[in-house]
Structure 1
Amino acid sequence: MTAQPMFPLQSALLPGEPLPLRIFEPRYSQLVRDCLEMTDPAFGVVLITRGLEVGGGDVRGDVGALARITEYADHGMGQYQLGTVIGERIRVREWLDDDPYPRADIEPWPDEPGPPVTHERIGEIVDAMLALFERIVSARGARLRPDALAVEPEVADDPSRHIYVLASRVPMGQADRYAVLAAPTLAERVDVLADAIETVSAMVEFQIASDENGE
């Protein structure tokens, strides 16, 4: 069993997202030093479901992703500035001792087999997001850019990557982001995302109505 360095955070990170980090806590400074000695300098990131990032004693989710270090600056005294990119999804098989930092036995967790997700279905998600964003910017007296949800062609051709990119742009809470990440199949992830967009849209309408009524 190989112990994977782990970095619990108060954010649910989705594959493809950038993750800049400023490291200063001693245990995570050691994690960075150990990762930089690896052929593949990566550590797992999972959502803290209860507790804080600093000091330990947190409760952690069992689904996360690998964060690969793409650049770093060593500022001395155990302080690092990291640039990382969130990669493939992982599942924690077992949490290990936190000495000298959080570690876990993990396994890759690609999407499980499920119903196909068509470009038409993704188009419905895009339309719902555009309607949400249009409502937000129009309430502020602005206009939505035509390319607000544009993605690179290689992303558009990969439904799994496309959904993760779209999900990363929805202003939803961490619990919803975690639900998107933890959906076993791509089809289920699309449904979870659609529900999250509906929830955010309802919250936006409530806030706009409150503002208009001076509440």
Structure 2
Amino acid sequence: MDVLPMFPLGTALLPGCPLPLQVFEPRYLALLRDVAAGDGRFGVVLIERGFEVGGGDQRFPIGTVAAVERVSSAADGRIRLLARGRERFEVVRWLDEDPYPRAEVRLLPTLAWDDEHAAQLEETERVVRRALAVMSEYRTDLWPADVDLSEDPVVKSWQLAGIAPLGALDQFAVLRSSSVSELLKRTARLTTEAVDLLPLQFPDDPG
């Protein structure tokens, strides 16, 4: 078992995906100071109920280890950082939250790649990139459709889910995948559903 400092967020972090954060709450500033003095890792879990600021939230039990890649300080005392998702974990037990949330976690197995997944990966990539191109006419908060992804097929599978236009609960559903095939299938299905909902969300033509 590992003990990790924990950062509950309103979004799910997926392995291989970037996580930009701007931190100002005192307890999480303390967390980052300890992370910087340690191995540079902390855990990210999706908030089930509640809010990021102030505590008292309820959290989903599956999360992702985040590894800090870059840190900078702002004049107002905020810390900006870029972290990246690594291994997934399951929370075994929440520990004392003074001065910040911590949990005992069990790392989950890395998903195994098989060449039989290649065609499914190619099709999922087509679905996600096409969705980003279509939805860019309606939204400005999306990844570009031609964004570069990892050459590693498992990391790329996670990154496709990470750039797909999915909400937090859909991201969490993907995070729980127990195989590459399940990961790709869920990503493609949820992305297709998101595109199908566009006429309801934006009944008028874009622009």
Q: TM-score, with normalisation over the residues of structure 2?
A: 0.84
Output the amino acid matched with 1:16.
G
Structure 1 pair 22/199, CA: closer, same or farther in 2 (3 Å)? same
Distance 2:113 2:92 in 1: 23
Structure 1 pair 114/159, CA: closer, same or farther in 2 (3 Å)? closer
Q: Where do 1:101-120 residues align within 5 Å?
A: 101-111=100-110, 117-120=116-119
Distance 2:123 2:13 in 1: 24
Residue 192, structure 1, aligned to residue 189, structure 2: no
Q: Where do 1:137-176 residues align within 5 Å?
A: 137=136, 148-149=145-146, 151-152=148-149, 155-156=150-151, 158-176=152-170
Q: Which residue of 2 aligns with 1:44?
A: 43
SS in 2 for 1:64: strand
Please list every run of 5 or more consecutive structure 1 residues that lacks an aligned counterpart in the other structure: 141-146
Bigger Rg, which one: 1
Distance 1:31 1:112 in 2: 29
Residue 18, structure 1, aligned to residue 26, structure 2: no
Give yes or no for contact 2:48–2:59 (8 Å, CA) kept in 1: yes
Structure 1 pair 198/77, CA: closer, same or farther in 2 (3 Å)? closer
SS in 1 for 2:204: helix
Could you tell me how far 1:148 is from its partner in structure 2?
Answer: 3.1
When structure 1 is superposed on structure 2, of 48-57 and 81-90 the one drifting more is: 81-90
Output the amino acid matched with 2:161.
A
Structure 1 pair 135/73, CA: closer, same or farther in 2 (3 Å)? closer
Please list every run of 5 or more consecutive structure 2 residues that lacks an aligned counterpart in the other structure: 139-143
Could you tell me how far 1:61 is from its partner in structure 2?
Answer: 1.0
Output the amino acid matched with 2:31.
L
When structure 1 is superposed on structure 2, of 113-122 and 87-96 the one drifting more is: 113-122
Output the amino acid matched with 2:194.
V
Q: Which residue of 2 aligns with 1:57?
A: 56
Give yes or no for contact 2:117–2:180 (8 Å, CA) kept in 1: no
Q: Which residue of 1 aligns with 2:197?
A: 203
1:129-178 per-residue CA deviation (whole Å, 9 max, x = no partner) reads 244234335x67xxxxxx934645xx23x322111111111111110001
When structure 1 is superposed on structure 2, of 181-190 and 74-83 the one drifting more is: 74-83
Q: TM-score, with normalisation over the residues of structure 1?
A: 0.81
SS in 2 for 1:162: helix
Give yes or no for contact 2:113–2:154 (8 Å, CA) kept in 1: no
Q: Which residue of 1 aligns with 2:141?
A: none
CA RMSD in angstroms, aligned pairs only: 2.5
Distance 1:127 1:112 in 2: 21
SS in 2 for 1:175: helix
